[in-house]
Chains A and B, each alone.
Chain A
Amino acid sequence: DQQVKQNSPSLSVQEGRISILNCDYTNSMFDYFLWYKKYPAEGPTFLISISSIKDKNEDGRFTVFLNKSAKHLSLHIVPSQPGDSAVYFCAASAGTNAGKSTFGDGTTLTVKP
Protein backbone atom coordinates (compact mmCIF):
# COMPACT_ATOMS: atom_id res chain seq x y z
CA ASP A 1 0.00 0.00 0.00
CA GLN A 2 1.81 3.05 -1.30
CA GLN A 3 0.63 5.99 0.74
CA VAL A 4 2.45 8.69 -1.22
CA LYS A 5 2.42 8.56 -5.01
CA GLN A 6 4.09 10.61 -7.67
CA ASN A 7 2.41 9.34 -10.80
CA SER A 8 4.69 11.01 -13.32
CA PRO A 9 8.13 9.37 -13.37
CA SER A 10 9.46 12.13 -15.60
CA LEU A 11 8.69 15.64 -16.82
CA SER A 12 10.40 17.71 -19.49
CA VAL A 13 9.91 21.48 -19.82
CA GLN A 14 11.51 24.36 -21.67
CA GLU A 15 13.66 26.85 -19.81
CA GLY A 16 11.61 29.80 -18.60
CA ARG A 17 8.33 27.90 -18.56
CA ILE A 18 6.47 26.55 -15.54
CA SER A 19 7.19 23.09 -14.13
CA ILE A 20 4.38 21.41 -12.20
CA LEU A 21 5.15 18.29 -10.21
CA ASN A 22 2.30 16.39 -8.59
CA CYS A 23 1.95 14.20 -5.52
CA ASP A 24 -1.05 12.28 -4.17
CA TYR A 25 -1.45 10.71 -0.76
CA THR A 26 -3.95 8.32 0.79
CA ASN A 27 -3.32 8.58 4.53
CA SER A 28 -5.62 11.25 5.97
CA MET A 29 -3.40 11.44 9.07
CA PHE A 30 -0.63 13.11 7.08
CA ASP A 31 -0.47 16.74 8.08
CA TYR A 32 2.94 17.93 6.94
CA PHE A 33 4.46 17.69 3.51
CA LEU A 34 7.95 18.37 2.21
CA TRP A 35 9.63 18.44 -1.19
CA TYR A 36 13.22 17.38 -1.67
CA LYS A 37 15.46 17.71 -4.70
CA LYS A 38 18.13 15.18 -5.59
CA TYR A 39 21.02 15.48 -8.00
CA PRO A 40 22.91 12.36 -9.19
CA ALA A 41 25.53 11.06 -6.75
CA GLU A 42 24.27 13.34 -3.97
CA GLY A 43 21.82 13.01 -1.11
CA PRO A 44 18.41 14.71 -1.31
CA THR A 45 18.21 18.33 -0.18
CA PHE A 46 15.20 20.07 1.31
CA LEU A 47 13.33 22.42 -0.98
CA ILE A 48 10.04 23.57 0.55
CA SER A 49 7.36 22.36 2.95
CA ILE A 50 3.73 22.97 3.83
CA SER A 51 1.56 22.30 6.84
CA SER A 52 -2.00 21.05 6.49
CA ILE A 53 -3.28 24.28 8.04
CA LYS A 54 -2.18 26.08 4.87
CA ASP A 55 -3.04 25.62 1.23
CA LYS A 56 -0.07 27.44 -0.27
CA ASN A 57 3.54 28.19 0.59
CA GLU A 58 5.98 30.18 -1.51
CA ASP A 59 9.74 30.45 -1.51
CA GLY A 60 11.17 32.38 -4.42
CA ARG A 61 10.55 30.49 -7.65
CA PHE A 62 9.02 27.55 -5.77
CA THR A 63 5.41 27.30 -4.64
CA VAL A 64 3.69 24.32 -3.08
CA PHE A 65 -0.11 23.98 -3.18
CA LEU A 66 -2.06 21.62 -0.94
CA ASN A 67 -5.60 20.41 -1.64
CA LYS A 68 -6.58 18.45 1.45
CA SER A 69 -9.98 17.36 0.16
CA ALA A 70 -8.35 15.81 -2.89
CA LYS A 71 -5.32 14.61 -0.91
CA HIS A 72 -3.15 16.22 -3.54
CA LEU A 73 -0.20 18.57 -3.53
CA SER A 74 1.79 20.12 -6.30
CA LEU A 75 5.10 21.90 -6.65
CA HIS A 76 5.30 24.78 -9.11
CA ILE A 77 8.64 26.08 -10.35
CA VAL A 78 8.49 29.40 -12.19
CA PRO A 79 10.51 30.14 -14.22
CA SER A 80 12.21 26.80 -14.69
CA GLN A 81 15.98 26.82 -15.13
CA PRO A 82 18.34 24.12 -16.44
CA GLY A 83 19.86 23.87 -12.95
CA ASP A 84 16.46 22.67 -11.70
CA SER A 85 16.96 19.42 -13.60
CA ALA A 86 16.92 16.79 -10.84
CA VAL A 87 14.76 14.15 -9.19
CA TYR A 88 12.05 15.62 -6.95
CA PHE A 89 10.62 13.67 -4.03
CA CYS A 90 7.46 14.41 -2.17
CA ALA A 91 7.41 13.35 1.52
CA ALA A 92 4.62 13.22 4.09
CA SER A 93 4.48 12.97 7.87
CA ALA A 94 1.81 12.58 10.53
CA GLY A 95 2.01 14.36 13.85
CA THR A 96 0.72 11.24 15.55
CA ASN A 97 3.82 9.28 14.57
CA ALA A 98 6.83 11.44 15.25
CA GLY A 99 9.92 10.57 13.28
CA LYS A 100 8.27 8.60 10.50
CA SER A 101 8.47 9.93 6.96
CA THR A 102 6.91 8.47 3.83
CA PHE A 103 8.36 9.38 0.45
CA GLY A 104 7.00 9.12 -3.06
CA ASP A 105 8.87 7.43 -5.91
CA GLY A 106 10.19 10.68 -7.31
CA THR A 107 9.77 12.63 -10.55
CA THR A 108 12.74 13.33 -12.80
CA LEU A 109 12.53 16.89 -14.09
CA THR A 110 14.50 17.89 -17.18
CA VAL A 111 14.62 21.57 -18.07
CA LYS A 112 15.83 22.13 -21.63
CA PRO A 113 17.76 25.29 -22.52
Chain B
Amino acid sequence: EAQVTQNPRYLITVTGKKLTVTCSQNMNHEYMSWYRQDPGLGLRQIYYSMNVEVTDKGDVPEGYKVSRKEKRNFPLILESPSPNQTSLYFCASSHGLAGGPFAYNEQFFGPGTRLTVL
Protein backbone atom coordinates (compact mmCIF):
# COMPACT_ATOMS: atom_id res chain seq x y z
CA GLU B 1 0.00 0.00 0.00
CA ALA B 2 1.35 3.42 -1.02
CA GLN B 3 1.73 5.51 2.09
CA VAL B 4 3.61 8.06 4.15
CA THR B 5 4.30 6.94 7.70
CA GLN B 6 5.23 9.07 10.68
CA ASN B 7 6.46 8.06 14.10
CA PRO B 8 5.60 8.64 16.78
CA ARG B 9 1.95 9.62 16.35
CA TYR B 10 1.82 11.25 19.77
CA LEU B 11 4.64 12.64 21.86
CA ILE B 12 4.78 14.57 25.11
CA THR B 13 8.19 15.89 26.06
CA VAL B 14 9.85 18.60 28.10
CA THR B 15 11.61 21.78 27.09
CA GLY B 16 15.14 21.24 25.82
CA LYS B 17 15.02 17.47 25.34
CA LYS B 18 16.10 16.68 21.79
CA LEU B 19 13.66 14.67 19.73
CA THR B 20 13.28 13.27 16.23
CA VAL B 21 10.07 12.60 14.33
CA THR B 22 10.59 10.11 11.55
CA CYS B 23 8.91 10.17 8.16
CA SER B 24 9.10 7.49 5.50
CA GLN B 25 7.43 7.07 2.11
CA ASN B 26 7.29 3.98 -0.09
CA MET B 27 6.32 5.68 -3.37
CA ASN B 28 9.85 6.57 -4.57
CA HIS B 29 8.91 10.26 -4.43
CA GLU B 30 11.62 12.83 -4.99
CA TYR B 31 9.99 15.62 -3.03
CA MET B 32 9.27 15.56 0.73
CA SER B 33 8.14 18.24 3.10
CA TRP B 34 7.28 18.96 6.74
CA TYR B 35 4.35 21.12 7.86
CA ARG B 36 2.92 22.20 11.16
CA GLN B 37 -0.76 22.86 11.75
CA ASP B 38 -1.87 25.23 14.46
CA PRO B 39 -5.42 26.40 15.24
CA GLY B 40 -6.39 29.27 12.94
CA LEU B 41 -3.06 29.18 11.10
CA GLY B 42 -3.59 26.38 8.62
CA LEU B 43 -0.61 24.38 7.38
CA ARG B 44 2.75 26.10 7.42
CA GLN B 45 5.73 24.61 5.63
CA ILE B 46 8.78 24.07 7.81
CA TYR B 47 11.33 22.49 5.44
CA TYR B 48 11.22 20.72 2.13
CA SER B 49 13.55 18.50 0.15
CA MET B 50 13.67 18.06 -3.60
CA ASN B 51 15.94 15.02 -3.49
CA VAL B 52 18.64 13.28 -1.47
CA GLU B 53 20.94 15.82 0.20
CA VAL B 54 18.87 18.73 -1.17
CA THR B 55 16.83 20.62 1.44
CA ASP B 56 15.51 24.15 1.76
CA LYS B 57 13.67 26.30 4.28
CA GLY B 58 9.94 26.77 4.22
CA ASP B 59 8.06 29.55 5.98
CA VAL B 60 8.76 28.57 9.60
CA PRO B 61 12.15 26.78 9.81
CA GLU B 62 13.40 28.29 13.10
CA GLY B 63 14.05 25.67 15.77
CA TYR B 64 13.96 22.73 13.36
CA LYS B 65 16.48 20.68 11.42
CA VAL B 66 16.01 18.10 8.70
CA SER B 67 18.17 15.67 6.77
CA ARG B 68 17.63 13.66 3.59
CA LYS B 69 20.25 10.94 3.46
CA GLU B 70 17.97 8.42 1.77
CA LYS B 71 15.22 9.03 -0.72
CA ARG B 72 12.50 7.41 1.36
CA ASN B 73 13.25 9.07 4.74
CA PHE B 74 12.98 12.67 5.88
CA PRO B 75 13.30 13.03 9.67
CA LEU B 76 12.41 16.23 11.51
CA ILE B 77 14.75 17.10 14.36
CA LEU B 78 14.04 19.44 17.25
CA GLU B 79 17.40 20.01 18.95
CA SER B 80 15.96 21.97 21.89
CA PRO B 81 12.17 21.90 21.81
CA SER B 82 10.22 24.79 23.33
CA PRO B 83 6.52 25.09 24.24
CA ASN B 84 5.82 27.18 21.12
CA GLN B 85 6.65 24.09 19.06
CA THR B 86 3.64 22.31 20.49
CA SER B 87 1.70 21.52 17.34
CA LEU B 88 0.39 18.92 14.91
CA TYR B 89 3.07 17.96 12.41
CA PHE B 90 2.58 16.48 8.96
CA CYS B 91 5.07 14.96 6.59
CA ALA B 92 4.24 14.89 2.86
CA SER B 93 5.76 13.57 -0.33
CA SER B 94 5.16 13.94 -4.06
CA HIS B 95 6.60 13.03 -7.43
CA GLY B 96 8.63 15.50 -9.43
CA LEU B 97 7.37 16.22 -12.91
CA ALA B 98 10.12 16.14 -15.48
CA GLY B 99 10.90 19.77 -16.14
CA GLY B 100 8.24 20.99 -13.73
CA PRO B 101 8.15 22.21 -10.14
CA PHE B 102 7.60 19.51 -7.57
CA ALA B 103 4.97 21.51 -5.79
CA TYR B 104 2.73 21.25 -8.84
CA ASN B 105 2.11 17.69 -7.96
CA GLU B 106 -0.34 16.51 -5.40
CA GLN B 107 1.24 15.82 -2.07
CA PHE B 108 0.57 12.66 -0.10
CA PHE B 109 0.40 13.34 3.60
CA GLY B 110 1.19 11.19 6.58
CA PRO B 111 -1.32 10.78 9.43
CA GLY B 112 0.28 13.45 11.60
CA THR B 113 2.29 13.62 14.83
CA ARG B 114 0.82 15.49 17.75
CA LEU B 115 3.67 16.98 19.78
CA THR B 116 3.32 18.60 23.18
CA VAL B 117 6.31 20.36 24.72
CA LEU B 118 5.91 21.12 28.43
Contacts and interface: CB of A to CB of B under 8 A. Distances in A.
Interface of A: 6, 9, 32, 34, 36, 41-46, 49, 51, 89, 91, 93-95, 97-106
Contact of A43 (B40, B59, B111): B111
B81 interface: no
B111 to A, nearest CB: 5
Given A99-B31, A99-B48, A105-B40, A46 B104 contact: no
Contact of A44 (B59, B90, B101, B103): B90
B79 interface: no
A106 B109 contact: no
Contacts of B31: 99
Given A99-B33, A99-B56, A46 B106 contact: yes
Contact of A89 (B42, B100, B102): B42
